[in-house]
Amino acid sequence: MIYQLPVLIVVQLLLGSFLMPIVGRIRNQLIPHISLFLMGLANVFSIILLFRVVREGNIHYHLGNWAPPWGIEIVADLLGAYMAVIITGISFLVLVFAWRDIQREINYALRGWFYTLVLLISGAMVGMVLTNDLFNLYVMVEIVSLCGPALVAIRNNRLAVEAGFKYLVMIALGSGPILFGIALIYMITGHLNMTFAGQEVLNVIHEYPRVALLAQAFFIVGFGVKAALFPLHVWLPDAYTSAPSPSSALLAGLAAKVYIVGLTRVLFNLYGIDVLATTPLFTILKVMAVAGIIMGSIMALNQKDIKRLVAYSSVAQIGYIFLGLSLATGFSVTGAILHILNHALIKSMMFLCCGVIIYQKKTSNVDELGGVGKEFPITMICFGIGAFAMVGIPMLNGFISKWYISLGALEYGGLAGLMYLLVIIISSLLNGLYYLPVLIKAFLGGDSQKETVFDKAPITLILPIVILAAGIIILGLLPFVPLQIAADAAQHLLGQ
Amino acid sequence: MVQGVETHSHLPGLVVLIPIIFTALVGIFQKRSFLLRNWLFISGAAITFAGMALMGYYVLQGRILVINYLVAMFPFTITFRVDTLSFLIGVVAAGVWLLASIYCLQYMKDDHAPNRYFPVHIFTLAGSLGVFLAGNLYTFFLFYEVMAFSGYLFVIHAETPEAFKAGSRYLMVTILSGILVFTGVIITYQLAGTLDLGSLGIIPEANVVSLIAFVAFIIGFGFKAGLFPLHTWLPAAHPVAPSPASALLSGILIKTGAYGIIRVTYNVYGIEMMRDTGWPTILLIFAAITTLYGSMAALVQDNLKRRLAYSSISQIGYILMGGALLTERGLAGDVFHIVSHATIKSTLFLTAGAIITKTGIKYVSQMAGVGRKMPYTMGAFTLAALAMIGIPPLNGFVSKWALALGALDAGQPGYAVVLLISSMLNALYYLPIVILAYFRKPEEGTVLYGDMLRYDEARASMLVPILILALSLVIFNILPVNLPLVLAEFSARALFQH
């Protein structure tokens, strides 16, 4: 039974998602209960899986008992298992949050579909981080990509539909290159299993250097669009801003990160670090990452809408992750993977905080948020914790990943390394400059002009935020487990 | 005293934890009852001070208290290490904090936001002590940021437009200082593989990268300490903060920068590398400029607290100079002046606060007659002013003496001249205040409230802390053994050992 776990989590979520419309026919009120139950169960399974992987090493599962290279192989390694815990955990909290929140944000008729989509996207995300099969990965990528715009457009107003459509077009443009890339790899290696294809690529790369390079380019563009790598991020601010808050939390916190995990897996498993180092890939990624860090932060400085501000900050943070990956030193890759994990927590929490603010105040304009800190201190303190984590104050998890990426920049060496360090610290400064005014406004900016909807926000809105904030502090103070996982993954990726 | 036997003790950890616990207690109970809040507030500071003083028992035996928490999280280990230097500055900080806490019960009585001020006041103590007792750079940086960000709430406390303006400048400086120190810390870790502050010099070699780290440290801490030309936040922030907070900002918080520079120079880089490379010369030059600039700028200020703030800048120049001279006596003067300036400047800011509460006077030009109205307060002010100028037997004299000897040891008599000039300038801007207060008759309509001709001293709960501080300027220096000086000399010697 334990060895079925990796696939069980995925199947259970996907099946659950298809069941929801039927449940809705029988009794609409049951949908949230059942989906919460399924997601909680998936989270428990993921935690068991993680323990199992920590104790016994990777779990290989062959779908339908067809051994690779023919059958689909699912591999639960440390990174995959940990990501599964994060994905199901955050999705669970988002569902708890959504319980009350979507009553405000989504039409009655569409609420059932929201749960369908959340279960579907979580299942596909878990599938994406666990699969070792290229085509299976593509299927999961497609599911996530289609659920994303739907989760945005489900708000069903003009802005949301427009943003959702834009998102759909952009992200669909990204799917094509990924499929091309997979096809090219299949063409030159004859394998879809990443392990086998990876071994074969090393043999054939001298025969087909251009094809291999082209496939690489396709992967970067495809996944880059989906993960909002600058300058392919244009869909992101609109999508995250106009989506319902739980959707934003899911998309920004998890979906964008999962694509990066997918891209890392594909590139490093297929080509290996030695081949990657001979191509201009890392140079391109570095330039894009640095541009993303700086531009994302600068754009965030000018935003008046709190959700938009948090969204632009995402662009910068994704730049961080790509910078860490593309520096390709032990510390920097560790830092990048840590930041994937840490930023998932931070960003989900911040979007949920925005959700509370919007729920209570019916506005997201920063200027109208004076004094909200006095009215709902818990939410704003959590927002502050997130902001300080982004700035990189020790004891919060953002500091740990910033530390390792900076260390990676120094390890990279030379003047260039120092320049990257400079970029990182400038970005910290900018993070402070756009987050702290919001906090100052919230806590010291006089009394709010807008009326508050409820005296006390419902517990289902506050609890997920508090849990995530606690996670940020705990992982900042005791970063042992994620650090081990990230270091292990980095070692594996760099083939040391 | 014998040097350095390391002893494990949870005392330093407790001393940092206690103010945090009391912050929570004050936060919880302040809405129930004022009396309970006041008791908790004072006992938090008092217990912390007692804990700090208890450490003296061990430190005077020549032991060094060390404790590591979260060792498995290396390099994110929380380490406290109390040697003589940490103890001396820590105990003075806790003592000044306790007195300022007693003072602010009365001062903040009719305040508009006491529920914010009281928890922040005691929380910042945890941050400052964490900085002074830190045993590695990670712990140092952690508490440095905690202290710096909670200091923001001191600055904006009045919630006036000027306060917010000063606050945003302070915040900008805090973030800049934080990221620069972060840069220094991370480069140190990359070069040394450790962040431990227990040894004398962990950077293996002097090269461009370690120079960059040094400069980042100096600028980062220079922002905090108010080194020219990074000082601009300081004269803006001090006047707008409530007086007990100004006393702490000027007396303790900016010293974290000076303390950081000492630790970086002597513990991270080590005296030998500093002598070989001569990097501290940059600091020395800027420190001398800071001294003269601060004094000259103070001359033309009419706002009393602003004048005190500029005077702080000039004194920080002395302190940084002492460390950058790279001589043992210079460093002893540096450490001793950190202590004496902490007490002198707190006295001055607290007296300024007492004058403001009693009369509403904020400007030097209005101060005629204050000496007759508030003789004890003004007496304390006078004593502190004389200490600042450097009249024996006050502690300001002792530190200047030590600093001047340090400059001569270093073969740099020019810096002793700088000290002399600055002392003269100190006299020029402090003595007129004293003369005005005692010997001029008050003019009509200069004060906001209160009768200038009638004796009307501040309440005992404000006056007693001021008098205790004023007494401390004298008492240690007329005792047969000048304990702070001995400790300062001893901590300097410890940093020069090979």
What digits encode the pLDDT tens for the residues A151-193?
A: 998 888 888 888 899 999 988 888 999 999 999 999 888 888 8
Contacts of A440 in chain B (CB under 8 A): 156, 167, 171
Burial letters for B237-267: b for 16+ Cβ neighbours within 10 Å, e otherwise? bbbbbbbbbbbbbbbbbbbbbbbbbbbbbbb
What residues contact residue A125 under an 8 Å CB cut-off, 6+ apart? A87, A140, A144, A254, A255, A258
Look-up: residue for tokens 């004022």?
Answer: B34
Interchain pair A477, B183: CB under 8 A: no
The strand order across the sheet containing B5-8 reads: B5-8, B63-69, B78-82
Give the model's confidence band at A375: pLDDT under 50 very low, under 70 low, under 90 confident, else very high.
Answer: confident
Where helices occur in A190-280 by DSSP H, the ranges are 194-204, 209-227, 236-242, 245-250, 256-278
CA distance B232 to B173: 9
**Residue A449 predicted with pLDDT over 80:** no
CA distance A224 to A256: 10
Among partner residues A391, A407, A480, which is closest to B73 by beta-carbon distance? Answer: A480
CA distance A162 to A167: 9
Interchain pair B187, A393: CB under 8 A: no
Q: What is the pLDDT of residues A312-367, one digit of tens each?
A: 998 999 999 999 988 888 899 999 999 998 999 999 999 999 988 888 888 888 88
Chain A: nearest CA to B151, how far in angstroms? 14
**Residue A16 predicted with pLDDT over 60:** yes
**Residue A467 predicted with pLDDT over 90:** yes
Q: Which amino acid is at A448?
A: S
Four-residue CA torsion sign, A195, A198, A202, A206: positive
Interchain pair B145, A393: CB under 8 A: yes
Look-up: residue for tokens 């304390």?
Answer: B380
At A423 the pLDDT is 92
Q: Is B420 helix (H, G, I), strand (E, B) or coil?
A: helix
Q: Is B129 helix (H, G, I), strand (E, B) or coil?
A: helix
Average pLDDT over residues A109-136: 89
At B445 the pLDDT is 62
Q: Is B189 helix (H, G, I), strand (E, B) or coil?
A: helix
Peptide bond into B393 cis (omega under 30): yes
Peptide bond into A246 cis (omega under 30): no
At B183 the pLDDT is 92
Domain extents in chain A: 280-496
Q: Residue A387 has which token pair?
A: 């902001």
Contacts of A444 in chain B (CB under 8 A): 156, 159, 164
Q: Angle at which helices A397-412 and A377-391 pack, to 10 degrees?
A: 10
ipTM of the predicted structure? 0.89
Contacts of A411 in chain B (CB under 8 A): 190
Q: Residue A198 has which token pair?
A: 């990876």
Mutate which: B147, B183, B185, vs A, most A CBs within 10 A: B183
Using a CB–CB cut-off of 8 Å, the residues of A that contact B are 388, 391-395, 400, 403, 406-407, 410-411, 418, 421, 425, 428-429, 432-433, 436, 440, 444, 477-480
Peptide bond into B432 cis (omega under 30): no
Written as one string, the DSSP assignment of A226-245 is: HHT-TTS-TTHHHHHHHS-H
* Residue of A147, A107, A108, A97 lying closest to A28 (CA atoms): A108
Q: Residue A255 has which token pair?
A: 């979906």
Interchain pair B186, A394: CB under 8 A: no
Among partner residues A394, A425, A436, which is closest to B183 by beta-carbon distance? Answer: A425
Answer for the pair A362, A108: CB distance below 8 angstroms, yes or no.
no
Q: Is B363 helix (H, G, I), strand (E, B) or coil?
A: strand
Interchain pair A444, B70: CB under 8 A: no
Chain B: nearest CA to A391, how far in angstroms? 9
Rounded alpha-carbon distances, angstroms, from residue B88 to A425, B82, B121, B139, B269: 34, 9, 21, 19, 22
What is the full per-residue pLDDT of chain B (498 aa) written as tens digits?
Answer: 445 688 888 999 999 999 999 999 998 888 888 888 889 999 999 999 999 999 989 888 888 888 988 888 788 889 999 989 999 999 999 999 999 999 988 888 888 888 888 999 999 999 999 999 999 999 999 999 999 999 999 998 888 888 888 998 999 999 999 999 999 999 999 898 888 888 888 888 888 888 999 999 999 999 999 888 888 888 888 888 998 999 999 989 999 999 999 999 999 998 888 888 888 888 899 999 999 999 999 988 888 889 999 999 999 998 999 888 888 888 999 999 999 999 999 999 999 998 888 888 888 888 887 888 888 888 999 999 999 988 888 888 888 888 899 899 888 888 889 888 989 999 998 998 888 888 887 776 666 666 666 777 888 888 899 999 999 988 888 888 888 888 998 888 888 875
Among partner residues B138, B145, B189, which is closest to A407 by beta-carbon distance? Answer: B189
Task: Report the percentage of chain A scoring pLDDT > 70.
Answer: 98
Answer for the pair A242, A159: CB distance below 8 angstroms, yes or no.
yes
